[in-house]
Chain A
Amino acid sequence: MDEKESKQGRRGFVKKTTALLGAAVLAAPSAKAISLTNPGRESGDARYIGQEGKRFGMVIDLRKCVGCQACVSACKSENKIPKEKFRTYVPEYELGSYPNVHKAFLPQLCNHCAEPSCVSVCPTGATFARKDGIVVVDSEVCWGCGYCINACPYDKRYFNPVTNVADKCTLCAHRIDHGLLPACVESCVGGARISGDLNDPNSAVSKLLSMYPTTVLKPSSGTKPRVFYIALSGEIQGLPYSPKVLDDMARKIDGMTAREWSSKGE
């Protein structure tokens, strides 16, 4: 074989090998493996699709909230939320200045936004909005990059230390799909939390929305939250940046302020 021939032979070999390798790479995961969404949604699993035609949301009537935290504990036990993690919680604020002061409670949960900033940034399609608007995470697909946790303007996502992936409020989708109310709504002693189908004009939430002036948290974030508040004080609507305060005494005693991430306030 002269030099030219051997060169062509080598080139041909390289070409063939590359073609074979390329074909193998493309074919190895079967055509179904590469997905625009994720396997659960592709297969049409009812838990992933939700209740088509409905749009779930919540109205929180702050005039009725007494800050008893029943919703927080109901949520924790219903959804088996690990220690120190919360899907919903009720911070307390002291507003005004002495002697004209009052307390405010602000129950918070995932807003199941119409334009969720957490969903659009997900690189694995693990988090998505069901057709009824409930934003959920597929804990089998999520790889735990945390982009959604940073993208949420409301701090309503966390890493679940058991599944080791992003986790969040599901509006108790497992209950809603069986005709039950979310645990926090069910347990609310003052009837401050009302949930239901925003598409149904006769639902309790729709009626409240048409009857009262309502607003949402951080409207400027542009996420179009679907949790509405009645009688929300403008001072706390934007969840403002506040100075060091006395909120961490108990956590300091528990040693929590020395964790990887901790609040600087003391």
Chain B
Amino acid sequence: MDFGTLLHTISSITPDRPWGIDIPNYFWFTGSSAAAFIISSFAHVFGMKEYKPIAGFSLLLAFVLLVAAPMNLIDDLRQPGRIMNFFFYGWENFPTSPMKWGVLLLIAYPLLILVEALVLYRPYFGFSKGVVRNKEQQEKDHHLGVLLGAIGIPLALSVHGYTGYILGAVHAIPLFHTPLMPILFLASAMVSGTGLLIILLPIFQKFFTDFKRIDMAMMQRLARLLSWFVVIDLVIRFFWLTFAITFNNEEKYALKLFFGENFWEVLIVDYVICLIVPMIIGFTNYFARSFKWILFGGILSAIGVWIFRWNTVIGGQSIGKTTPFLLEYHPHLTGFDSILSVLANWSLLIALVALVMVIFPWDKEMANYYVTKEER
């Protein structure tokens, strides 16, 4: 079918598109949460000592992100008051509705992180005062932490992988429809989660600890890690796009139209500026020596993954199924599923981060790795 021989003249209606700005935000939150959890497991489960100092901090971050994330989903619903129907009805669709898997995942995962954080910080909490935890008990706690972390890894991968599955299962939308979507989402999640840690860690180390020092070696480690995650992300995107645009059935025409029209936003902004630039920063000694460059790379990658989520969710829906050309999306400023709701969600995240960081003695635990006993 050649373009130009067909004119869609009158009464082409504007079809409905259900998912707005909340959904890319939700994907960004769950993805960053999964990544923060995995990075915390580097130390907790895989015993990588160099990540020990930030293991607790990123575990708390993972928890907070996942508590705030589902609010986006509720806000995107047209009937949020009927949320219980999600839990009560329609269980026969469980095998075929990836969204339904969220019932289990979105409850199990934050609970598990919370329990793991409580176990990890048990020795530091006030309530263990008087009951001095002996070596044996500490050992027991450690084993419990490893076990919870080991259960948590597949759970963290699932909690974000299933969101990619939700999109990948939609064969009506060529940009969503690829079995690579879940792992593509995971790879980009690792990028945004690491980027977020690069942004938050120095702020918290500098201003909210007693030792008030930024661990530059850790920043460099994270920048290098970020670069590797970008490599993985780009490799998966390479396989996705080369197959989807070149060796595909009629879906390739829609994708060519989409990527042609959005060349600047997708290829230049997302791929080059927000992925390749941070990758170069992390891999190059010249840039990775500088705290400012690392921070810059972290910010770029975190924003870049948000843009990728946007391009995927909004861009996918912009492709016409029965109508000509592409649709355009203009998010509302206020009301449900609006720019204001996303800002409100971020405010909630910041409030929760503050609350959790006040409640949990993360700074005392982190100080163990930076301050000698004599200094304390």
Contact = CB atoms under 8 A, between A and B. Distances in A.
A144 B77 contact: yes
Contacts of B172: 117, 150-153, 221
A150 B23 CA distance: 13
Nearest to A243: B3
A3 B326 CA distance: 70
Contacts of A236: 6
A164 B82 CA distance: 11
A149 B96 CA distance: 16
A34 B91 contact: yes
B90 A122 contact: yes
A33 B88 contact: yes
B322 interface: yes
B79 A142 contact: yes
A249 to B, nearest CB: 9
Given A121-B93, A124-B90, A244-B325, A159 B5 contact: no
A69 B11 contact: yes
A260 B17 CA distance: 9
A259 B14 contact: yes
B19 A146 contact: yes
Contacts of B249: 220
A7 B92 CA distance: 44
A251 B166 contact: no
A10 to B, nearest CB: 11
A246 B9 contact: yes
B18 interface: yes
A154 B321 contact: yes
A247 B88 contact: no
A165 B78 contact: yes
A164 B250 CA distance: 34
Interface residues of B, number: 72
A147 B330 contact: no
A251 B11 CA distance: 10
Contacts, number: 252
Contacts of A142: 79, 82, 85
Interface stretch (A15-23, A88-96, A172-180, A199-207): A88-96
B327 interface: yes
Interface residues of A, number: 80
B170 A150 contact: yes
B157 interface: no
A150 B92 contact: no
Contacts of A244: 324-325
A147 B99 contact: yes
Given A153-B172, A165-B79, A262-B328, A158 B16 contact: yes
Given A143-B79, A220-B249, A242 B13 contact: no
B338 to A, nearest CB: 9
B7 A263 contact: no
B18 A143 contact: no
A265 B89 contact: no
B1 A235 contact: yes
Interface stretch (A35-43, A53-61, A224-232): A35-43
A150 to B, nearest CB: 5
A241 to B, nearest CB: 5
Contacts of B93: 119-123, 125
A150 B78 contact: no
Contact of A95 (B5, B88, B320): B5
Contact of B8 (A122, A159, A247, A256): A247
B6 A93 contact: yes
B325 A155 contact: no
Per DSSP, chain A at the interface is loop
Given A91-B12, A260-B332, A264-B326, A147 B88 contact: no
B317 interface: yes
Contacts of A96: 5
Contacts of A235: 1, 5-6
A57 B330 CA distance: 38
Nearest to A222: B171
Question: Which residue, of A95, A157, A239, A256, has the highest number of chain B Cβ atoms within 10 A?
Answer: A239
B10 interface: yes
B324 A242 contact: yes
B361 interface: no
Contact of B100 (A39, A123, A151, A155): A123
Contact of A242 (B8, B250, B327, B332): B8
A145 interface: yes
B82 A143 contact: yes
A20 to B, nearest CB: 18
B186 to A, nearest CB: 21
B321 A155 contact: yes
B321 A263 contact: no
Nearest to A251: B14
Contact of B5 (A97, A154, A258, A261): A97
Nearest to A233: B6
A254 B218 CA distance: 57
Given A86-B13, A221-B171, A243 B92 contact: no
Interface string B218-252: 00000000000000000000000000000001100
B15 A108 contact: no
A245 B321 contact: no
Contact of A91 (B11, B17, B102, B326): B11
9 contacts: A34-B91, A36-B90, A86-B13, A108-B322, A150-B172, A164-B78, A242-B324, A247-B9, A263-B324
Interface of B: 1, 3-20, 73, 76-80, 82-83, 85-93, 96-100, 102-103, 131, 166, 169-173, 176, 249-250, 253-254, 257, 317-332
Nearest 7 A/B pairs, CB to CB? A146-B18, A125-B90, A144-B78, A153-B172, A120-B96, A155-B15, A94-B7
Given A37-B89, A126-B85, A265-B324, 5 more contacts: A153-B171, A153-B172, A159-B78, A242-B325, A245-B7
